[in-house]
Amino acid sequence: MIDELEEDYPEAVRYIRQAVDEDGEQWVLDTYHVHIKPLQTFIPCPDVEELPFYDEYETLDREERVEHAEMLRKYRENLRTQGQEDE
């Protein structure tokens, strides 16, 4: 499926390969394929640093984003299982 993404979005091959190297193929498929494939289009976006609202001091780095996502996952899991006893 990664090859299919690369065929459909040749201008994004570099970013797809970088994401696969950093996070693994399964993560890329679970995260991006579901959202990108139905669009059937690739909209080029400027680098984050070029966006008018970007502030490097208020932006989370990779470790902070991972930590934040983990906390949200635990919070959602707690909401789902609240009131249910483990047996």
pLDDT digits (tens, 9 = 90+) for 16-62: 788 888 888 887 777 765 565 554 455 555 565 555 565 666 667 78
In a domain? residue 86? no
Tell me if 66 is assigned to some domain.
yes
- Is the pLDDT at 66 greater than 80? The verdict is yes
The verdict on residue 53 lying in a domain is: yes
Asked if residue 40 belongs to a domain, the reply is: yes
* Sign of the alpha-carbon torsion through 36, 41, 47, 48: negative
29 or 68, which is more confident: 68
d(CA 63, CA 67): 6
Domain-located, residue 11: yes
State which residues form the domain around 16: 2-81
Cβ contact 39:26 at 8 Å: no
pTM, two decimals, is 0.35
Whether 43 is in a domain gets the answer: yes
Helical ranges in the chain per DSSP H: 2-8, 13-23, 25-28, 34-36, 62-81
Distance CA 25, CA 17 (A): 9
